[in-house]
Amino acid sequence: MKLNSIGKTLGTTLSAAAIAALTLSACGSDNNAGSTGGGSGGSSSADCGGKNSVTAEGSTAQQNAIAEFNKVWGQSCSGKNLSYNPTGSGAGREQFIAGNVDFAGSDSALKDEQIAAAAERCGGNPAWNLPLVFGPIAMAYNVPGVDKLVLNGDTLAKIFQGQIKKWNDPAIAALNSGVTLPDTDITPIFRSDSSGTTDNFQKYLEAASGGAWTKGAGSEFQGGAGEGAQKSAGVAQAVQATPGAIGYVEKGFADQAGIPYAQIDNGSGAVELTDESAGKAIDAAKFAAEGNDLTLDLKSLYGMQDAGAYPLVLATYEIVCSKGYDAETAEAVKSFLKVAANDGQANLSAAGYVPLPDAFKERLVTSIDAISASA
């Protein structure tokens, strides 16, 4: 099933407690997304039912987006507030399964071994993975004298496995006709902490390198080359401080640090990282199955060769009960998520995320509407 575009209508405000829980800076998972949707509808468009206080926990990649959604929700629905604890995706899934929070934020869908436990937590009903926040991963680099750089899945795989060691390597030069590349050592910078960004970057390399990446995926970096740095901010700082460095980091962190990032040739030519090019990739991605669980087929996203699509995009999910909440919780969770999917998209770009394309948003809202309380 094709994922089309996303876009517009939501509302919220951050309480002091939520602000304390959501102090962040750019996207990051420590994880973080066309024809972009904008989010015009006013507060009158919001359904403000249910309880006033909702709890969630998980991905640090989406925490800035969640803070924005919470602000808009409070603006649209006076008195509403989400308390979000950015402890990481794994912790978020565990706390949701334990019934300690109303929903989880996660850089990956529920794992196979978690599906049954999540259904038990939801009163015997399946939990759904709803992709709400997308953040492009930038290949930030520090190559003095090189203002424009093109790379692809093959060259990135070989750089991060230590097989391409110099910036003027013939494989890189072939992608950068007319650019004078220096005879400088390449220093790959990777996340030294467990990270959903690392997992998704390695999944991208698996899908896009034509078999060159042989190290597998996972939240720990497997490439064996380069230097590690803690968290997204650490990667950005390390690239900025190291001539010859390149690192994978959420776009918001690269923008904050003023670091350039490479274009990616997905097989149909070089693509610059913009909201439009990342949104085009989201639009062309596919869901893993039919129905209201919207787990993405990441191979279709990372391996795509659509012209003008920037494929290295991190999708983060809200994991919710399809059914099994009490009525007050069900209505409040739906209210928050619908505001986030609509009006909450308007200011995401400035924080380094990609607003949902319109058709994708419509598909997402259909799933949100289908969330219901226990019979």
The pLDDT assigned to 35 comes to 33
Q: Kindly report the average pLDDT of the chain as a whole number.
A: 88
For the entire predicted model, the pTM comes to: 0.79
pLDDT level of residue 16 (50, 70, 90 thresholds): very low
- List, in order of start, the domains of the chain with CATH numbers: 16-136+283-301+313-373 (3.40.190.10), 137-277 (3.40.190.10)
- What's the 3-state SS for 344-365? HHCCCHHHCCECCCHHHHHHHH
State yes or no: pLDDT of 27 exceeds 50.
no
Does 197 belong to an annotated binding site?
yes
Residue range 288-304: average pLDDT? 94
Helix axes 63-76, 327-341, angle to 10 degrees: 110
Does 34 belong to an annotated binding site?
no
Residue range 354-371: average pLDDT? 94
Does 61 belong to an annotated binding site?
yes
- Using CA atoms, how far residue 252 sits from 22, 24, 33, 359, in Å, is 16, 11, 11, 25
- Cβ-based neighbour number of residue 173 at 10 Å: 14
Q: How many CA atoms lie within 13 A of 320 on its CB side?
A: 31
Exposed / middle / buried, residue 44 (Cβ in 10 Å: 0-12, 13-18, 19+): exposed
Does 107 belong to an annotated binding site?
yes
The pLDDT assigned to 45 comes to 60
Does 195 belong to an annotated binding site?
yes
Q: How many CA atoms lie within 13 A of 123 on its CB side?
A: 11
Q: Cα 259 to chain center, whole Å?
A: 20
- Tokens for 59? 């991905």
State yes or no: pLDDT of 305 exceeds 70.
yes
pLDDT, tens digit, for every residue of 156-210?
A: 999 999 999 999 999 999 999 999 999 999 999 999 988 888 999 999 999 999 9
The pLDDT assigned to 369 comes to 97
- What's the 3-state SS for the chain? CECCCCCCCCCCCCCHHHHHHCCCCCCCCCCCCCCCCCCCCCHHHCCCCCCCEEEEEECCCCHHHHHHHHHHHHHHCCCCEEEEECCCHHHHHHHHHCCCCCEEEECCCCCHHHHHHHHHHCCCCCEEEEEEEEEEEEEEECCCCCCCCEEEHHHHHHHHCCCCCECCCHHHHHHCCCCCCCCCECEEEEECCCCHHHHHHHHHHHHHCCCCCCCCCCCCCCCCCCEEECHHHHHHHHHHHCCCEEEEEEHHHHHHHCCCECEEECCCCEECCCHHHHHHHHHHCEECCCCCCCCEEHHHHHCCCCCCCCCCEEEEEEEEECEEECHHHHHHHHHHHHHHHCHHHCCCHHHCCECCCHHHHHHHHHHHHCCEECC
Does 45 belong to an annotated binding site?
no
Residue range 250-279: average pLDDT? 95
pLDDT level of residue 219 (50, 70, 90 thresholds): confident
